[in-house]
Amino acid sequence: MPEIKVTPLGAGQDVGRSCILVSIGGKNIMLDCGMHMGYNDDRRFPDFSYITQNGRLTDFLDCVIISHFHLDHCGALPYMSEMVGYDGPIYMTHPTKAICPILLEDFRKITVDKKGETNFFTSQMIKDCMKKVIPLNLHQTVQVDDELEIKAYYAGHVLGAAMVHIKVGSESVVYTGDYNMTPDRHLGAAWIDKCRPDILISESTYATTIRDSKRCRERDFLKKVHETIERGGKVLIPVFALGRAQELCILLETFWERMNLKAPIYFSTGLTEKANHYYKLFITWTNQKIRKTFVQRNMFEFKHIKAFDRSYADNPGPMVVFATPGMLHAGQSLQIFKKWAGNEKNMVIMPGYCVQGTIGHKILNGQRKLEMEGRATLDVKLQVEYMSFSAHADAKGIMQLIRMAEPRNMLLVHGEAVKMEFLKGKIEQEFSIDCHMPANGETVTVTTNPSVPVDISLNLLKREMALGGPLPDPKKPRTMHGTLIMKENSLKLVSSEQALKELGLNEHQLRFTCRVQLQDPHSDPDTLHRIYTHLKSVLKGYTIQHLPDGTVMVESIVIKVSSSAEDTNTKVLLLSWSYQDEDLGSFLSTLLKKGLPSGLC
Partner 1 sequence: MTEEEEEDNNSRSDGALHAVGWRRRKRRLLSPAARLHLSVLRGTHRWYKDLHVYQLEHPTQVIEWTSARTVCVAGYSPSKNEILELHLPLKIFADENKGLCAERDFKVVHGGFTDGPVRCLRYIPGTRCAVTGDGLSSNLQVWDLGGDDSDVIRRTGSIEGRRRRTGVSEGGSRIAARLLSQPQILHGAQISDVQLTELSSGQTLYQLESDSADPLSSLHFLSDTVFLAGCSNGNIYVADTRTSAAPQLSPPPASSGESVLWWTDASAGPDPSGCRVVRLSSSGQALVSDLRNPGGAVSRAQLDVQTRCCSPDNVRVSWAPVLDDCIAVSGFSGAVQIYDTSVWRSEPQEARPLFEHRGHAVSPEQSNDGVPPVLVTSHVWHPKRPRTLLSAASDGSVHVWDWVDQSAADGQTEAVEKR
Helices (H), 231-268: 244-259
Task: Report the nearest approach of partner 1 to the CB of residue 23 (Å).
Answer: 30
**451 lies in the site for partner 1, by CB under 8 A:** no
Close Cβ partners of 130 (under 8 Å, ≥ 6 residues apart): 97, 100, 101
Peptide linkage before 325 cis (omega within 30 of 0): yes
Tell the smallest beta-carbon distance from residue 216 to partner 1 (Å): 5
Residue 433 in contact with partner 1, rule: CB under 8 A: no
Number of residues near partner 1 (by CB under 8 A): 50
Q: Which of 11, 259, 372, 465 binds partner 1 (CB under 8 A)?
A: 259
Q: How far is the CB of 449 from partner 1 (least distance, A)?
A: 29
Q: Which region, judged by CB under 8 A, interacts with partner 1, from 34-42, 189-197, 393-401, 462-470?
A: 393-401
Measuring CA to CA, which residue among 208, 243, 226 is closest to residue 98?
243
Task: Decide whether 39 or 302 has the Cβ nearer to partner 1.
Answer: 302
Does residue 436 touch partner 1 according to CB under 8 A? no
Residues 205-234 that bind partner 1 (CB under 8 A): 208-213, 215-220, 222-223, 226
345 binds partner 1 (CB under 8 A): no
Contact flag: residue 600 with partner 1 (CB under 8 A): no
Is residue 73 within 8 Å of residue 32, measured between CB atoms?
A: yes
Cβ neighbours of residue 108 closer than 8 Å, sequence gap 6 or more:
120, 121, 122, 123, 126
Q: Give the residue from 318, 188, 320, 304 showing the smallest Cα distance to 254.
A: 304
**x/- contact string, 511-550, with partner 1 (CB under 8 A)?**
----------------------------------------
Q: How far is the CB of 394 from partner 1 (least distance, A)?
A: 7
DSSP 557-594: EEEEEEE-SS-TTEEEEEEEEEGGGHHHHHHHHHHHHT
Measured from the CB atom, the residue of 38 and 595 that comes closer to partner 1 is 38
Cα-trace Rg, the chain: 38
Rounded to the nearest whole angstrom, what is the least distance from the CB of residue 395 to partner 1 in the complex? 6
Cα(250)–Cα(244) distance, rounded to whole angstroms?
A: 10
Whole-angstrom distance, CA of residue 176 vs CA of residue 393: 10
The residue from 109, 115, 132, 289 that contacts partner 1 (CB under 8 A) is: 289
339 touching partner 1, by CB under 8 A: no
Is the separation of the CB atoms in 148 and 62 below 8 Å?
yes
List CB contacts of 518: < 8 A, sequence separation 6 or more: 527, 570, 571, 572, 573, 592, 595, 596
Which amino acid belongs to residue 123? S
* Catalytic residue from among 82, 147, 171, 203: 203
Of 332, 341, 340, 441, give the one whose Cα is nearest residue 10. Answer: 441
Q: What residues numbered 351-380 form the site for partner 1, per CB under 8 A?
A: 364-366
Residue 301 in contact with partner 1, rule: CB under 8 A: yes
Choice from 292, 369, 475, 476 touching partner 1 (CB under 8 A)? 292
Active site residue 203: yes
Q: Nearer to partner 1 by C-beta: 404 or 574? A: 404
Query: Contact between 560 and partner 1 (CB under 8 A)?
Result: no
Nearer residue to partner 1 within complex by CB, 299 or 554:
299
Q: What's the one-letter identity of residue 440? A: N
Query: Whole-angstrom Cα distance, residue 107 to residue 273?
Result: 21
Q: Does 425 bind partner 1 (CB under 8 A)?
A: yes
| Active site positions, annotated | 203
Binding site for partner 1 (CB under 8 A): 208-213, 215-220, 222-223, 226, 250, 254-255, 257-259, 289, 292-293, 296-297, 301, 303, 364-366, 383-388, 394-396, 399, 418-423, 425-426, 429
